[in-house]
């Protein structure tokens, strides 16, 4: 792939989420928080760090303001959640809350809303984790009580889904047990042959699933042709790959360091992220073209 094609593909494939990677020069609470947030943006699934950030913010007087960019994602997520009519639309809402909480990971209201959206999209384990983080923000007693009761409800729904129906045969029960033991393999078989697309100003980014591999590519805005990209092995629901030197070399200034591919639990979308040398984590949501 020549430099022009490579630049076009990356421009179409990524949504820029600006994040600070400035190292703390002093031990002030504000600089410590900035460093914690920068670390979290490199590893969004570090729930222990999220709890650490929440506890740290609780010691700050005054409490840090919610950045406008975080509030923007929160309002978008709330609107999508209120208008949602199916699990897929609720998942779109939860993604907006997730973006908000990468910017302001101490924001209790966003954790509560994300938990409810994840519950509606039947992603029960993630919903419980979000509500537990909401409780960690130390809300009022009555609100905390409601959140804990909601966790109990989600646990009941998750248990019901996991339990095989009483009328199932022994063979059906065995099949269910096998799926529980290896959900990743089941999902991989489910998405084999699917095409995921992200549309941007520069064209479209393409991900084709072939067996246990992602085959990437791009189509320019004029749709004149298809540019093949690279092949990546699908290792798990979240796979990380170091960017080869030959891809980094053409970039001036900040260079891409790592690609991150995250498959949704229902297989309906893939989040593609690129971690850059200046600390930015730029992500795009590729959606399955049914």
Q: Where are the domains of the chain?
A: 3-15+187-288, 65-161
d(CA 41, CA 34): 11
| 108 DSSP 8-state letter | H
d(CA 219, CA 202): 9
Dump pLDDT digits (tens) for 132-179: 999 999 999 999 999 999 999 999 988 887 766 565 555 555 555 554
Q: Is the confidence at residue 12, as pLDDT, over 50?
A: no
pLDDT band at 23 (very low <50, low <70, confident <90, very high): very low
pLDDT band at 75 (very low <50, low <70, confident <90, very high): very high
- pLDDT above 70 as % of the chain: 84
Per-residue pLDDT at 206: 93
Confirm or reject CATH 3.30.1490 for domain 3-15+187-288, answering yes or no.
no
Q: Which CATH code of 2.40.420.20, 1.25.40.10, 1.10.150.120, 3.40.50.2300 fits the domain covering 65-161? A: 1.25.40.10
In terms of Cα–Cα distance, which of 156, 159, 154, 115 is closest to 133?
115
H or E element, residue 286: strand 281-288
pTM of the shown model: 0.51
Per-residue pLDDT at 59: 94
Per-residue pLDDT at 14: 43
Rounded (10°) angle between helices 68-83 and 87-103? 170
Coil, helix or strand for 125?
Answer: helix
């Amino acid at each position: 792939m020549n430099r022009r094609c490579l630049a076009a593909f990356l421009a179409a494939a990524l949504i820029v989420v600006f994040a600070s990677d400035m190292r703390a020069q002093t031990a002030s609470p504000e600089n410590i928080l900035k460093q914690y947030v920068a670390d979290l943006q490199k590893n969004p699934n570090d729930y222990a760090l999220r709890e650490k950030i929440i506890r740290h913010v609780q010691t700050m007087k005054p409490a840090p303001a919610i950045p406008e960019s975080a509030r923007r994602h929160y309002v978008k997520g709330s609107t999508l959640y209120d208008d949602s009519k199916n699990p897929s639309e609720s998942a779109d809402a939860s993604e907006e809350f997730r973006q908000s909480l990468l910017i302001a990971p101490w924001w209790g209201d966003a954790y509560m809303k994300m938990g409810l959206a994840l519950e509606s999209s039947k992603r029960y384990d993630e919903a419980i984790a979000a509500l537990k983080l909401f409780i960690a923000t130390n809300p009022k007693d009555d609100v905390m009580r409601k959140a804990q009761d909601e966790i109990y409800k989600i646990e009941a729904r998750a248990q019901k889904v996991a339990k095989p129906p009483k009328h199932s045969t022994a063979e059906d029960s065995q099949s269910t047990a096998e799926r529980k033991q290896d959900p990743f393999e089941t999902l991989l078989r489910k998405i084999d042959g699917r095409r995921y697309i992200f549309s941007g100003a520069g064209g479209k980014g393409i991900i084709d699933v072939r067996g246990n591999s992602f085959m990437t590519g791009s189509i320019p805005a004029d749709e004149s042709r298809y540019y093949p990209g690279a092949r990546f092995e699908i290792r798990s629901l979240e796979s990380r790959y170091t960017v080869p030197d030959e891809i980094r070399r053409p970039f001036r200034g900040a260079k891409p360091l790592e690609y991150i591919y995250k498959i949704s639990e229902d297989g309906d979308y893939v989040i593609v992220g690129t971690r850059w040398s200046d600390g930015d984590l730029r992500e795009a949501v590729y959606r399955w073209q049914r």
